[in-house]
């Protein structure tokens, strides 16, 4: 398809109301492991973040890196297992997760953004006590009942120290956050990045939380493309988790939307990170993409 000059102009003009609406607002992006699989896609995500920044939005990135952790664990002969979408994390695994997330994935994103002229600063939840955490038990639903399972050094966010983030945002930096929390005794916790993004979006009273993933959004039956859900309200979302319509890695994502909305974020969106420029398509076009989870 070729675009005329008029088409190009109208695409830019379509973005204008959104640029005005989001100017000076904070948007939290959860950039997931499955949406980082190739360099070309990474580059497009970085371009989107740069564009947001340069039209006056305050982006905050929380990244995952699940596939990278799984890959590294495999290299050292460790199998990964998950309960309700959360990695079972023993003492050795939490060390490896911290090394991969903070040492590798975080610095790579920071580097790519800096290369694009965006002043990015990498943080883990340990920096300036950004993410205070405590142990989290996984919840397994079985029909009408549920039970809690101990999955090791997996944490949940107790408190977010927003002052470091506010300072960085006020000084025009883009914070890039690895999902590692710190416990009362300085111990590290592996936290699902969706939950971290949710807590950060809530604590910053962000305009939006965007969760990038490896599927178009939420389906009533994800094997049937005709069952796509564009808008999901809180009560339905809770029922879908309970009934198993939403399963596996989608559970933390939808729970993240619920938490962010409860804590004061404006809107939440689950979008396809495999799609080129999914972020700007969601923010700057009238139709948007993906599933929005709203109050």
Ligand X SMILES: CC(=O)N[C@@H](CCC(=O)OP(=O)(O)O)C(=O)O
Residues tagged in the binding site annotation: 65-66, 87, 190
258 binds, among ligand X, ligand ADP, none (CB under 5 to 8 A by kind): none
Q: Where in the chain does DSSP place strands (E)?
A: 26-31, 58-63, 82-83, 86-87, 120-124, 131-142, 145-160, 174-178, 180-182, 188-190, 208-213, 218-219, 228-229, 231-233, 267-272, 291-294
Q: Which of 247, 275, 281, 294 binds ligand ADP (CB under 6 A)?
A: 247
- Residue 260: CB partners within 8 Å, gap ≥ 6? 28, 197, 198, 199, 201, 202, 206, 209, 268
Binding flag, residue 97, ligand ADP (CB under 6 A): no
User: Which residues on adjacent β-strands are paired with residue 84?
Assistant: none
Distance CA 64, CA 260 (A): 17
Q: Which residues within the stretch 187-216 sit at the binding site for ligand X (CB under 6 A)?
A: 190-193
248 binds, among ligand X, ligand ADP, none (CB under 5 to 8 A by kind): ligand ADP
Q: Which is nearer to ligand ADP, 53 or 87 (CB)?
A: 87
273-276 long-range contacts (CB < 8 A, ≥24 apart) are 273/31, 273/32, 273/34, 273/35, 273/36, 273/41, 273/45, 273/212, 273/213, 273/214, 274/34, 274/35, 274/37, 274/41, 274/214, 276/41, 276/44
SS3 284: helix
Binding flag, residue 66, ligand X (CB under 6 A): yes
Give least dist CB 149 to ligand X, A. Answer: 12
289 binds, among ligand X, ligand ADP, none (CB under 5 to 8 A by kind): none
Q: Which of 33, 125, 217, 273 binds ligand X (CB under 6 A)?
A: 33
From first CA to last CA, the distance across the chain in angstroms is 39
Binding flag, residue 248, ligand ADP (CB under 6 A): yes
∠ CA 145-147-149 to the nearest 5 degrees? Answer: 160
Stretch that binds ligand X, among 17-25, 63-71, 214-222, 229-237 (CB under 6 A): 63-71
Binding flag, residue 37, ligand ADP (CB under 6 A): no
Q: Which is nearer to ligand X, 198 or 289 (CB)?
A: 198
Q: Which of 203, 245, 261, 271 binds ligand ADP (CB under 6 A)?
A: 245
CB 29 within 8 A of CB 192: no
246 binds, among ligand ADP, ligand X, none (CB under 5 to 8 A by kind): ligand ADP
Stretch that binds ligand ADP, among 88-96, 130-138, 157-165, 247-255 (CB under 6 A): 247-255
Binding flag, residue 32, ligand X (CB under 6 A): yes
Query: Which DSSP state fits 34?
Result: G
Residues that bind ligand X (CB under 6 A): 32-33, 64-66, 69, 86-87, 97, 154, 179, 190-193
Residues that bind ligand ADP (CB under 6 A): 32-35, 64, 66, 85, 213-215, 218-219, 222, 245-250
């Amino acid at each position: 398809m070729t675009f005329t000059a008029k088409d190009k102009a109208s695409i830019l003009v379509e973005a204008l109301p959104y640029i005005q609406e989001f100017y000076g607002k904070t948007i939290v992006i959860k950039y997931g492991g499955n949406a980082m699989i190739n360099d070309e896609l990474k580059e497009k995500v970085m371009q989107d973040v740069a564009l947001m920044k340069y039209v006056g939005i305050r982006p905050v990135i929380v990244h995952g890196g699940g596939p990278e952790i799984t890959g590294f664990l495999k290299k050292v002969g460790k199998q990964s297992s998950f309960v309700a979408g959360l990695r079972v994390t023993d003492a050795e695994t939490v060390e490896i997760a911290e090394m991969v997330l903070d040492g590798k994935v975080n610095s790579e994103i920071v580097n790519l953004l800096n290369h694009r002229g965006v002043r990015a600063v990498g943080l883990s939840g340990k920096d300036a006590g950004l993410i205070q955490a405590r142990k989290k038990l996984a919840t397994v639903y079985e029909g009408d009942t549920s039970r809690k399972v101990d999955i090791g050094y997996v944490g949940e966010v107790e408190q977010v120290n927003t002052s470091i983030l506010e300072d960085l945002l006020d000084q025009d930096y883009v914070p890039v956050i690895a999902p590692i929390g710190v416990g009362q005794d300085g111990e590290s916790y592996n936290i699902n990045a969706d939950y971290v993004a949710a807590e950060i979006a809530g604590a910053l009273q962000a305009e939006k939380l965007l969760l990038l993933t490896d599927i178009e959004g939420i389906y009533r039956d994800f094997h049937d493309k005709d069952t796509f859900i564009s808008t999901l309200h809180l009560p339905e979302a809770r029922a879908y988790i309970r009934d198993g319509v939403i399963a596996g890695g989608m559970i933390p994502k939808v729970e993240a939307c619920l938490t962010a909305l409860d804590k004061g974020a404006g809107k939440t969106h689950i979008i396809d990170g495999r799609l080129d420029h999914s972020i700007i398509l969601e923010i700057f076009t009238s139709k948007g993409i993906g599933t929005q989870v709203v109050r």
